[in-house]
Structure 1
Amino acid sequence: MNEPTMTQAQALARVDQLVAETAAALSPKPRLELIQSSVPFSMCLDEGKSENQVVVNRAYWLRDVPSSENMNIARQVHAFWERQGHVITSTGGWQVGHPSIGGESRPDEFILALTWSAGDDLYLAATSPCVWPDGTPAPADR
């Protein structure tokens, strides 16, 4: 339960890698705009995990993509994640042109999301599993 994990910095690098690789596979190419509210680290709320662990999340608006391309972008994201070996955990909104896709990266179980938002915009997000900030449990958690 209190095994070493990747560090908070490593988790952030992986989150950014997952988003950047997905965006790079898309056409038309989006410009990623960080959603500032996604930046603060969050306390781990997973049952059986220490409150001293954190979750790293980042979300980015997909800018410079016309809303008429939203469904095309969603299909590309779905196909790219499958090609990468990630698991698609949910899809929704396709029938009304408001696509959302949930996924989980393999082998490291980061949560992936493509989400439609009011205003006809899409954003990509990735969230880490619970990690120890420096990669090892604090003495009280050992």
Structure 2
Amino acid sequence: MTDETITQAQALARVEQLIRDTAAALAPAPQLELIPHGTGTDICLNPNEPAGKVNVNRAYWLHDVPRSENLSISRQVKAYWEAQGHVITGTGTGKSPNLSGESRPDRYILGLSWSEGDKLFLEATSTCVWPEGIAPK
């Protein structure tokens, strides 16, 4: 354990970068809409981390992607993440476009998820960080 991390603001910037860079690599180009429920800052639940650390989460709907393109989008996301050096940790089965990964070098959790109505969303969650970048005294 270290007493120093990046700040919460820096973690948010990285989460946003991961999502926006992924979306920018897709065709057709999606319009991003923040999903407010379940995104933000949460208490770190990792039992190996000290109390007081937080995770930063963001998720965005991918609008303007035809349902018929969901599997293509999933393949594009997978290829993009792999090209960036990220690790794919899970894929959907059958016709499911779900995809999960872990960014490198920072090990953020990445996801492309399918929801009811054949909608897709991209999400990213930071590792546990101290809100101000250093453990409180």
TM-score class, shorter: over 0.9
Whole-angstrom CA distance in 2 between matches of 1:77 and 1:4 = 32
Q: How far did 1:50 drift? A: 1.8
SS of equivalent residue, structure 2 residue 20: helix
Structure 2 length-normalised TM: 0.97
Q: Distance in 2 between matches of 1:3 and 1:137?
A: 5
User: Aligned residue for 2:98?
Assistant: 100
Deviating more after overlay: 30-39 vs 126-135: 30-39
- What is the match of residue 129 of structure 1? 127
Deviation at 1:51, TM superposition (A): 2.3
| Structure 2 residue aligned with 1:4 | 4
Distance 1:78 1:39 in 2: 23
Consecutive unaligned residues in structure 2, runs of 5 or more: none
Deviations 1:83-106 (A, max 9, x none): 00000001113x1x2211110000
Normalized per residue, the structure richer in helix is 1
SS in 2 for 1:52: coil
Q: Deviations over 1:36-87 (max 9, x none)?
A: 0133310001012122000000000000101110000000000000000000
Which residue number corresponds to residue 65 of structure 1? 65
User: Could you say which residue in structure 2 is the equivalent of 1:91?
Assistant: 91
What is the CA RMSD across the aligned residues, in angstroms?
0.9
Distance 2:40 2:69 in 1: 31
Give the structure-1-normalised TM-score: 0.94
Q: Is 1:14 aligned to 2:14, yes or no?
A: yes
Return the letter of the residue paired with 1:46: N
Identical counterparts, % of pairs: 58
Q: Across the two proteins, how many residue pairs are aligned to each other? A: 137
Flag as ranges the 4+ runs of structure 1 deviating above 6 A.
none
Q: Distance in 2 between matches of 1:118 and 1:129?
A: 28
Match of 1:48 in 2: 48
| Amino acid in the other structure paired with 1:83 | A
Q: Secondary structure at the match of 2:68?
A: helix
